[in-house]
Amino acid sequence: MHERPDCGDALPDIALETPEGAALRPSDFRGRKLVLFFYPKDDTPGCTTENLDFSALAPEFEKCGAALLGISKDPPTRHCKFIAKHGLAAPLASDRPADGLADALGIWIEKSMYGRQYMGMERTTYLVDAAGRIARVWRKVKVKGHAAEVLEAARAL
């Protein structure tokens, strides 16, 4: 496995897909701060809470000049349903099934549940500066209080 990009490194510029089917790249946000929160799966309890928490704070992120983007490998159609069901304000994007941004960041990993091995997303958040460099990384995120902690870091950047 390759070295995981960390603080000070440039964020890989790999295209994602919006729920509407358009291409979106991290470089599209150059010139402003960017918060990328990677989560395992739409409409599961922890992921729903995380998305609702970031959505609730979306106006505050906007105020401090930080764009928000939630990312999973769910297809765009599933993101549309998830957004509609929960009234999410934080924008979402779909990562490629293979060789996507999560793969390049080393957070698409082998997981195990009930003795079954599978590939899944390690819940991770990146705060990226206006130049496209990683300013802060939260790995193996615990959802409770996380969005507020990221907001404080975004304000301080």
Active site residues: 47
Amino acid, res. 12? P
Question: What span, in angstroms and rounded, lies between the C-alpha atoms of 57 and 25?
Answer: 23
Give the residue carrying structure tokens 């934080």.
Answer: 90
Q: How would DSSP label each residue in 21-82?
A: S-EE-GGGGTTSEEEEEE-S-TTSHHHHHHHHHHHHTHHHHHHTTEEEEEEESS-HHHHHHH
Provide the token pair at 88. Answer: 């999410």
